[in-house]
Chain A
Amino acid sequence: MNTVPAQVKGPERVLSVTNLRAYYQTQYFGISREVRAVDGVSLHIDRNEIYGLAGESSCGKTTLIKTIVRAIRPPLSIVEGSVMFNFAGRECDIYRLNRHELDSMRWRRLACILQGSMNVLNPVRRVRQSFIDFAFRHIGQPMPQFLALIEGHLARLRLEPAILDNYPHELSGGMRQRVTIALASVCRPDFIVADEPTTALDVVVQKDVLGLMREVQREIRSSMILVTHDIGVHANVTDRMGIMYAGRLVEEGRTVDVIRNPRHPYAVHLVASLPRIGDTTQKQGLEGAPPNLAAPPPGCRFHPRCPLVMDVCRKEHPPLVDVAAGHRVACWAATQPDARRAA
C-alpha cells in the first residue's frame, strides 16, 4: 500500500502524477497476458525544473511517458490514477480534456522530444512543412511573419535557416535532433517531455545536443522530464531525478542527493556504474534479470536480485517514504534497518 503524503497543489507544481497504473492487456490466439508496465507511480514536477527519470530498459519509463502525454492506444490502458497538469495557473486533467481542448493544448503547452528522432519528421515533406504543421496554428501570425519567426528561432539555436528546405533524410542524426529540439521549443511550451534524446547519437554530438537542450530550457523556463538510462546525463543536466524499477519508482530526490547518497540497493548499483576519473575498483554486475512484468515476483520486485534481501521483502511491497528532505526511497532495508537486525 502506498503511503505517499497528500500532494500539495501550489502554483509551483506543473505536473502531478498520482497513483498511476497502466497495463498492457492482450488477447491473441487464445492467450491472454497482462503486462503491468506502470504499477503505482506518484511524482510531481515543479516549474522551471528538469526532472530526470532513470532505469534500465523495460522498467516502464517509456510507458510512463506515454501515459503522461496521453499517447496510449489499446492494448495499453490506464487502470488507475491521474495525470494533472497546471498550465498558466489553471488545473488540467489531461484525461478529461475533449479532442478540441487536447489539440489546442498540444505543442503550445506540452511538447515532446522523442527517442529515435531519426524518424519523427514526415519523410516526404520538407522541414519547413513540419514547422508549419505543428506550430502555425498556435503562433497565430500570417505566414510570412510566421516563417520569419521560425528562422529567428533557428538562428538563436545556431541552426542554418536553409535547413527548412531540406527533407529529413538529407540531414544527419545530430542535425535532425537539433531540429526536433527547435521544433519542440518554438511555441515556448510549459512542459517538455524528452525521451532518450541523445541515445543513438555519438558522444560528441550528444554533448552538443544536451547543451542545446539546457540552453533552450533556461531561455523559455519550461519544465522538463528527461528520460534516459545514462546516469551521466542525469548528473549533468537534471535538477531532480527518479529511478524506476519494474514499473515502480524505487528512489527519488534531488539529483545531487541521489547520486552522492543513493539508498536503494538498485540505485546504489546504478550510480556505482558511473565511471569516475581515478577510480580503479572493479565493477560488479547485478545477478539475475529484470522481472517479467506479466508475472512479477511478490513483495518488493527487486528482492530476487537484492544483496540486502529480508523476509519482509519477499512478502510485502515497500512504500515510498521520505528518508531526508525531498529524498524518497521504497526499500525495507533502507527505511527500517532495525527490522533487518531483528530478522
Chain B
Amino acid sequence: MNAYATYALKRLLQFALVVFIGINLAYLITHATPIDPVEQTVSAATAFGNTSPEAIAMMRKSLREIYGLEGNLWNQYAIFWQRVLVGDFGPSLSAFPTPVSTLIGRALPWTVGLLSVSTILAFALGNLLGGLAGYFADSRLLKIAGLAVMAVHPIPYYIVAFVVLIAFGYVWPVLPISGGYRINITWGWNADFILSVVSHAILPVTSLVLVGIGGWFMGMRSLVSNVVTEDYVTYAELAGVSRGKILGAYVMRNALVPQVTGLAMSLGSIFNGAIITEQVFGYPGIGTLLISAVHAGDYSLVVGIASVSIVAVSTAVLFIDLVYPLLDPRVKVS
C-alpha cells in the first residue's frame, strides 16, 4: 500500500482516539458531579416568585430532555455521543429557543479567524527571529530581541491581554478594545466592514502574538544552533553556497520540521489562550460565549462548546499531521 496512505490512516486513527477520549472526558465531567444540572436550573429559575408544582414538574421533564439526561446512564451516554456526531446539542437556555449549534456556528468563525491569524504571525515571526538568533549567535540586537520576547512568554495570556487592554484602552486609547466590529455596521465584503473587523482584531491578535512568539523563538534558536553543526550545512559552506541560501534552504528549512510538530502539539494551549483573550476584549468568539454561558447557567451551551472545542482542535492537528510529509520527505519511509 502507498506509504502515504498508511501514514494518513495512522493519523486518522489518532484523530479518532483524541476525539473519543476527549468527548468521553467531557461526558465523565458532566456526570461526575453530585449536583444535578436539572435541579440547579430549576432552582435558579424558580428562585423568585411562585411556580406551581405542575409547572416545576413540566420544567424538569423538558429540561431532562433538553439536557439529554433521560433514561439510565447508558442511554444518556448514547444520546451524548449522538449529539456530538450530529452537532446538535439542543436549544440554548439563555437564548431560548436558538439552538446551541447556531450560537456556536456564529461565534466559531471569529475564533478561528483570530486563532489562525495570531498563530501564523507568532509562528512566522518567532521562528524567523529565533532562526536568525541561532545562526547569528553573536548579534547583540538579536540577543536583546530574544530577551524581550522571552520575558513576555511565561506570563499567562490573561495578564498580557489585560495589560494590553489597559495600555491601549485607558492609557493610550487608539484602538477599539471591545467587540469584533463596530456596532450598527452593515455586514458584507465592503471596505468599511473589513476595516472595522481588522481594527477590532488588532489588540487581541497583538496580545496572543506577544505571548506566543517567545516559545517559537526559543525552540527555533536552539534547533538552528544544532542544525548549523550538521554535516550537510558544513558541506554546503565548504562548497561556497551563498549564505542566504544556506540560511533558508539548509538551516531554517530543516529546523522548521520539528517546529511544525511542535505547532500541532501546542494548538491545544494556544486555543486556551485565545478563549481567555476573547473574554478580555469582548471578542465575539466561542470564548466569550463560553464564559457568558457559564454565568447564565446554560448547561447545553457549555457542554456544546466544550465538545466542539475538542473536535475543532483535533481537526486542526489532523490537518497539520497530514500536511507534514510535504515538509519532511523522510516521514513516509518510517
Contacts and interface: CB of A to CB of B under 8 A. Distances in A.
Interface of A: 69, 71, 102-107, 111-112, 114, 116, 118-125, 129, 133-134, 167, 169-170
Given A69-B238, A105-B240, A169-B330, A125 B249 contact: yes
The 3 A-B pairs of least Cβ separation, nearest first, read: A106-B240, A103-B240, A119-B231
Contact of B253 (A105, A114, A124, A134): A124
B330 A71 contact: no
Contact of B231 (A103, A105, A116, A167): A116
Nearest to A113: B235
B239 A124 contact: no
B254 A124 contact: yes
Given A114-B231, A120-B232, 12 more contacts: A103-B240, A103-B242, A106-B240, A114-B238, A119-B230, A122-B250, A123-B232, A124-B253, A124-B329, A129-B249, A134-B239, A167-B330
A296 B225 CA distance: 32
A133 B239 CA distance: 9
Max chain A CB contacts within 10 Å: which of B230, B239, B330?
Answer: B239
Interface in B277-334: 327-330, 333
Contacts of A167: 329-330
Contacts of B328: 124
Interface residues of B, number: 23
A315 B250 CA distance: 50
Contact of A106 (B239, B249, B254, B327): B239
A134 B236 contact: yes
A123 B231 contact: no
A107 B242 CA distance: 12
Contact of A122 (B242, B249, B327, B333): B249
B329 A120 contact: no
A107 B250 contact: no
Contacts of B240: 102-107
Interface in B210-262: 230-232, 234-242, 245, 249-250, 253-254, 257
A120 B249 contact: no
A312 B245 CA distance: 55
A308 to B, nearest CB: 41
5 contacts: A106-B238, A112-B239, A119-B230, A119-B231, A134-B241
Contact of B239 (A111, A123, A129): A111
Interface string B171-193: 00000000000000000000000
Max chain A CB contacts within 10 Å: which of B232, B236, B237, B328?
Answer: B232
Contacts of B250: 122
A71 B234 CA distance: 8
Nearest to B240: A106
